[in-house]
Amino acid sequence: MPTLFRRKSTATVIEEADTGEAVVTERQTRSYTPSKREQGVATPRRGSANLRRPGAPVAARGGDTKATARQRRIEERSAMMAGEEWALLPRDKGADRRLVRDVVDSRRNLGSLVFGVLIVIVVLSLASPALAQLADLVFLFLIVLVAIDSVLLTRRIKKVVTERLPKETPNWRKLYGYGILRSTSFRFMRAPRPRLKPGQKF
């Protein structure tokens, strides 16, 4: 007589369990990528020849070491300060620029003196507020003097360059600006280094 509450057979349960495990195994196989070690492939290692040894110098451009590159920069700097044409910056190159430097360095420029005086005036005005108004007047007076000295300098530059380099057609505006900028800096800060002393003829 058939029973209403009949159990599933053990074979059916085992078959369903095996089928479920197969599906899970198949899903894991699809999403899992085996490593190279599991595939039997050895990972290549960097050779000892490519490793940087302690104390080995780092190669600079052209195969030079750091010490050699530093020495080269020092030599280029010294040559530039000495006024050698090959080592000069583009703004300093040219026979006309060399003449302008000689004109500026051979005269006593008010521009380089004014900035030293201005520093003293600023310090005094900070120490005594009563001198602040007087310092403003002195400052304006010095600016006028620098402007007059710059005009005289440009005339001197044009005369010398025209006489020494008659075939040259320089950009006078840039040449004047180059000379005025150099004249307003202190002598020890000028680059290239001055070749002439104040009052020396050339």
Among candidates 85, 108, 101, 120, which has minimal Cα distance to 191? 101
Give the domain ranges of the chain.
62-90, 94-202
Q: What pLDDT sits at residue 79?
A: 94
Over the range 15-47, which residues count as b (16 or more CB within 10 Å of their CB) and which as e?
eeeeeeeeeeeeeeeeeeeeeeeeeeeeeeeee
Mean pLDDT within 99-121: 88
145-189 pLDDT tens trace: 999 999 999 999 999 999 999 998 999 999 999 999 999 998 999
32-86 confidence digits (pLDDT tens): 566 666 666 555 555 444 444 444 444 445 555 888 999 999 999 999 999 999 9
Q: H-helix or E-strand containing 21?
A: helix 10-31
Q: Given this model, what pLDDT does residue 118 score?
A: 80
pLDDT value of position 89? 94
pTM over 0.75: no
User: Given this model, what pLDDT does residue 117 score?
Assistant: 81
Q: What is the three-state SS of 37-100? A: HHHCCCCCCCCCCCCCCCCCCCCCHHHCCHHHHHHHHHHHHHHHHHCCHHHCCHHHCCHHHHHH
Copy the structure tokens of residue 37. Answer: 């070690």
Mean pLDDT across the chain = 78
Q: Please state, in angstroms and rounded to a whole number, the distance separating the CA atoms of residues 172 and 179.
A: 10
Q: Which one, of 179, 101, 112, lies nearest residue 145 by Cα?
A: 112
